[in-house]
Amino acid sequence: MIYTMMQACEKTGMTYQGLKFYCNEGLVPNVKRDRLNRRIFDEHDIEWIKSLSCLKNCGMSIQEMKEYTKLCLDGAATIQQRKEILNIKKAQLEENIAALTASVEYINKKQEFYDEVLSGKREYFSNLIPCSCQN
């Protein structure tokens, strides 16, 4: 099946401007055009564009995505290099997940504290307000 730019955007969740930018940056290689010189995409392109979205969500810069794309175009001989790039990004994502998990745990703890204060089960205190009883 062949898709127009708008259809490709709908299938991939990418904005028109984003897809155009990626095409202009060479991140969607070998872009085909119809008889009116409009970009068109096939299923392989759609899957690659989805991959680009994932790489972006992994924190890859445009330059890193260009390097990854080049390695992909170079074929199977670059698989080990691509694995190393993805392993680095995966480790960074796992660090981000750990930090986010700690933040969620903090919020849960504070919410529990506030609920206990509001229900009268616990006396309120704040680390920001000095307690007069500590003099």
Of the candidates 43, 37, 39, which has an alpha carbon nearest to the alpha carbon of residue 19?
39
pLDDT of residue 125: 87
**Per residue in 25-59, pLDDT tens?**
999 998 999 999 999 999 999 999 999 999 999 99
The reply to whether the predicted model has a pTM over 0.75 is: yes
**Per residue in 96-129, pLDDT tens?**
999 999 999 999 999 999 999 999 999 998 989 8
